[in-house]
A and B are shown apart, each in its own frame.
Chain A
Amino acid sequence: MATPENKLAFDGGWEYDPAPESTDHINVAKRYGLFINGEFVSPENGRYFDTINPATEEKLSRVADASEADVDKAVRAAREAYRTTWGRMKAAERGKYIFRIARIMQERAREFSVIESLDGGKPIRESRDVDIPLAAAHFFYYAGWADKLEYAFPGRTAKSLGVAGQIIPWNFPLLMASWKIAPALACGNTVVLKPAETTPLTALKLAEVIADAGLPPGVVNIVTGAGKAGAAIVEHPDVDKVAFTGSTNVGRGIQKALAGSNKKYTLELGGKAANIVFADAAIDQAVEGIVNGIFFNQGHVCCAGSRLLVQESVADEVIEKLKDRMETLIVGDPLDKNTDIGAINSRMQLEKIQSYLKVGKAEGAEMHQSSCRVPKSGYWCRPTIFTGVSQSNRVVQEEIFGPVLAIQTFRRYDEALIKANNTPYGLSGGIWTDKGSKIFKMTQNIRAGVVWANTFNKFDPTSPFGGYKESGVGREGGLHGLDAYVKLGA
């Protein structure tokens, strides 16, 4: 254990100069319409809203605020495309269109990365190395499924559903659009997708890609707007399937709104994952996993490892190392290649996180934040940990969706397991130990859809993702992600 005399010093000395990614190669229009039936059109009511850069609070563009009438127009276009082109196309040809999308995204990867970071606040390192490559890979993966669906469902025949209405969140804007659109198209459906209000730009750029790829008009329609536009998609009678990623509360509302309809739905909702570190773990890699678990994407991650459960005998050591590691995290300009933690996505989200910091302190937990500087304008939150928390605290129970980690200790594996599962959520979990049989014991018993053992926050197009319990219904990604977009017949 480090004593005050032998603590490591990370401030001062050699520091990294700013290394901003250039923005001269990107092209963001002053104003965007709705992408309906293969072209950008003005919204019926003529209304637009600003999308801003959360790192500077400056306006990036204005985007259309879709009304019910616009959504209806988009659904009609999607239906028409389903009926006349996409639904009748040879599956292999469908697949080739999707491959094209993947390829064009790869070609324009840098542009997408920069816009994603500008609009959403995430560090360019992540949009460049995670979001955009994974988004392209997702299209590439599902493209290949288009003409192989008969092998995915033994003993059944898979048929397309029709029009898929899709609503995505602001934490992984383009990646979530890909998770939704790629399997829908591969299975022969057409799409109406609504990006999140605060991060519409990359979806609109994706609309350009889809147009460039030559997809028939109406196969993918992108309508920007707020919750009302989302509700219009959910409630539209000619939508056959609803796919939603977002908060459990909204998801619950959608499940209710769909009651009595025959619409198929998948929901990918909140989480409060436990990341469990045993004394026999590879401690340094576990610390890194804790950091990736909670500070990746400013903690705006539904599967974030927001609860650390650490075995008492190594708790002090792990926390000490975690604090050291936090000192090396750079918070600031999302476009700087050295930034580890970017801007909080919106003022609203920042206020929510700050309210939880107050709650945590009021509950008697000890709060520690890294000592880094943060910019004056924009929305920022230093990496934060709470120690001395217990299961009954709100910062342990509720999803904060920010770079805030609640740390609890445990003595025995069964105690860790009980605490890990003591939540209405069940999206993900983490376990760190060097003992193989313990890994399987834990991964079998954690009630969650994704369990990372000796790693955390890994994603891949081939790997199904989705939750147990209140974390959602259905899976996205992999073979199992096809289910959401087909009906099975004998």
Chain B
Amino acid sequence: MSAKNQRIAVAKTYKIYIGGKFPRTESGRYFALEDKKGNVIANVCRGSRKDFRNAVVAARKAQSGWATASAYLRGQVLYRIAEMLEGRREQFVTELVLQGATQRAAEKEIDQSIDRLIYFAGWTDKYQQIFSAVNPVSSSHFNFSVLEPTGVVSMLAPEDSSLLGLISNIAPAIAGGNSCIVLASESKPLCAISFAEVLHASDVPGGVVNILTGFRAELTEYFASHMDVNAVIYCDGGKAVARTVQVLAAENIKRVIARNRLDWDSDAENPYLIRDTQEVKTTWHPIGS
């Protein structure tokens, strides 16, 4: 091929996703992502403590609006994410392969990811009916318990299952009206950022999902300690991580949800994942005339 006809491919800049925008990390830092052979695939933002802080502000701002959006609307938005993901299926396969998956495994993962979104899209207007209760108290009161989102959830996504695992954490949290800040897989961050682009194109209000890339060892403490985060989910952390997260989370009595050794193929399709980031609210009212 002659130089004259050669087209230079446009390399993608992988930026982080905060408050519905794609900034570079405020720190200006990056890390080079390499394939198995040591070739640089991309320069990835090395997110910072301040990026996380900004993401929490965005998540807090978005949370109440998302929580009060109708269950039907949340379902449609989740469904829309699935539609958009389906449309960009090939891109995700490519990225998964680039990060070391076989073609077959990559295709399976994207298919499952799309289906998982559909699964949780269908739950938004049903889990309340499964987990709520009217409580037959002895006094003359009407008493009922409903679920409400815990609020702002920070997530340390699974390291290996970089797309399916990521979506299996995000989908139940937002299906239930939470907003979240997710730290993508450190070794396989590409799909997370591409997924952020899908979210961006899918009517998900800015700030409901925020995705950072960076070093887990550096950022874990902030994900666990921030006083305006209501729950922290960590995946595949060892004992040391568990200890760090829980000790720091205790400062504001965060809910700590450990998702260790979860089989994302089979263990992550149930409404109990939604319930993990829900609070039970019980209301009493007299029955009289």
Q: Once the chains bind, are B283 and A451 in contact (CB under 8 Å)?
A: yes
Residue contact A259 to B138, C-beta cutoff 8 Å: no
| A260 adjacent to B280 (CB under 8 Å) | no
Query: Which of B252, B267, B279, B280 lies at the interface centre, i.e. has the most chain A CB atoms within 10 A of its CB?
Result: B280
| Residues 229-267 (chain B) with a chain A CB within 8 angstroms | 230, 239-240, 242-247, 249-253, 255-256, 267
A288 smallest CB distance to B (angstroms): 12
Chain B residues contacting A154 (CB-CB under 8 Å) are 130
> Is A144's CB within 8 Å of the partner chain B?
no
Known: A256-B250, A260-B246, A488-B272. A480 touches B138 (CB 8 A): no
A277 → B minimal CB distance (Å): 15
> Is the Cβ of A465 less than 8 Å from the Cβ of B282?
yes
B285 at the binding interface (Cβ < 8 Å):
yes
* Interface-side segment among B139-147, B155-163, B196-204, B213-221: B139-147
B284 touches A470 (CB 8 A): no
A358 at the interface (CB under 8 A from B): no
CB nearest to B136 among chain A residues: A462
Does A273 sit at the interface, judged by CB under 8 A? no
Our count of residue pairs bridging A and B at CB distance below 8 angstroms stands at 117
Q: Count chain A residues whose beta carbon lies closer than 8 angstroms to a beta carbon of B.
A: 46
Closest Cβ of chain A to B289, distance in Å, is 12
Select one of B133, B281, B284 contacting A458, CB under 8 A.
Answer: B284
Query: Across the interface, do A478 and B133 meet the contact criterion of CB distance under 8 Å?
Result: yes
**Contact residues, A432-485 vs B (CB, 8 A):** 439, 443-444, 448-455, 458, 460, 462-466, 468-473, 475, 478-480
B38 contacts the other chain (CB 8 A):
no
CB-based contact B143/A480 at 8 Å: no
Q: Which residues of A contact B138 (CB under 8 A)?
A: 137, 460
Closest chain-A Cβ to B266's Cβ sits at a distance in Å of 8
Report whether B252 and A470 are in contact in the complex, using a CB–CB cutoff of 8 Å: yes
Which residues of A are found within 8 Å of B137, using beta-carbon distances?
458, 460, 462-463
Among candidates A256, A424, A451, residue contacting B252 with C-beta atoms closer than 8 Å: A424
Residues of B within 8 A of A463 (CB): 135, 137, 143, 145, 282, 284
Query: Given A455-B141, A458-B139, A460-B137: A267 and B253 within 8 A (CB)?
Result: yes
A-contacting residues of B (Cβ < 8 Å)?
A: 130, 133, 135-139, 141, 143, 145, 148, 150, 230, 239-240, 242-247, 249-253, 255-256, 267, 270-272, 279-286
* Smallest CB-CB A-B distances: 5 pairs: A260-B243, A259-B246, A255-B250, A460-B137, A462-B135
**20 more A-B residue pairs beyond the given contacts A156-B272, A449-B279, A488-B272, with a C-beta to C-beta distance below 8 A:** A255-B249, A255-B256, A256-B247, A259-B245, A259-B247, A443-B283, A453-B284, A460-B138, A462-B143, A463-B143, A463-B282, A464-B282, A468-B279, A468-B281, A469-B230, A469-B252, A475-B280, A478-B133, A479-B135, A490-B270
15 pairs across A/B with beta carbons < 8 Å? A255-B249, A256-B250, A260-B243, A260-B246, A267-B253, A269-B253, A450-B284, A451-B283, A462-B136, A464-B133, A466-B280, A468-B230, A478-B133, A479-B135, A480-B133
